[in-house]
Amino acid sequence: MGNLNMTELLVILGVVLLLFGGKKIPELMRGLGKGIREFNNAKNSVEEELKEGMREYDKRKLEEKKIAE
């Protein structure tokens, strides 16, 4: 995206405006925002599950170490 200049961006925006029309663009952006929000929520949920699993694994290792001593 760093290689796009202002003219190219304006052409892309013009094509989007022609394809979807002025009334559909806010609806399209709202849907895009919801999709990004859902993706971030899912990503955060997976991160939390992984962290919790790692914590449980560490607790079990500590308990096994204490039992072995």
For 14-64, the pLDDT digits (tens) are: 888 888 888 888 888 899 999 999 999 999 999 999 999 999 999 999 888
Q: How confident is the model at residue 2 (pLDDT cuts 50, 70, 90)?
A: low
Q: DSSP string covering 24-35, please?
A: HHHHHHHHHHHH
- In eight-state DSSP terms, residue 12 is H
- In eight-state DSSP terms, residue 4 is -
Which token pair is 66? 């204490």
The residue ranking higher by pLDDT, 1 or 63, is 63
Domain boundaries, the chain: 22-69
Residue 5 has a pLDDT of 85
